A = this chain, B = another copy of it.
Amino acid sequence: METTDLKHQECISTLRPIRDALDVLNGKWKLPIIVALTFGEKRFGEISREVHGITDRMLSKELRDMEVNGLVKRKVYDTYPVKVTYILTPHSQTLGGVIESLRNWGELHRKKILSGEV
């Protein structure tokens, strides 16, 4: 294996975690759901009402996905009718820096594009 191949391999393995991170954040609804849960533990119906436009199907799907990724915790109360709440996990808090970074660059990018700088 020669130098350029080594470099290439290094970059490929660098790419994997980046893709992981992007996948966790991606899709139309994950960020809005995180925002909704930022203000505290919420029930399914509450999130549904706060994240404007989301359907029950997508909310259900995204919450399950986020639970698998350890971003939210699902709590079931044994009442009738059943009550289910979702809450952000400590792990989700570690996303703060990434989101900040994305936001800052997004703002910079928008400014440059609008000013015709790029």
Contacts and interface: CB of A to CB of B under 8 A. Distances in A.
B38 A11 contact: yes
A118 B91 contact: yes
Interface string A54-73: 00000000000000011000
Interface in A65-118: 69-70, 89, 91, 94-95, 97-99, 101-110, 112-113, 117-118
B35 A70 contact: no
The count of identical subunits is: 2
Nearest to A27: B22
A48 to B, nearest CB: 14
A101 B98 contact: yes
A99 B110 CA distance: 18
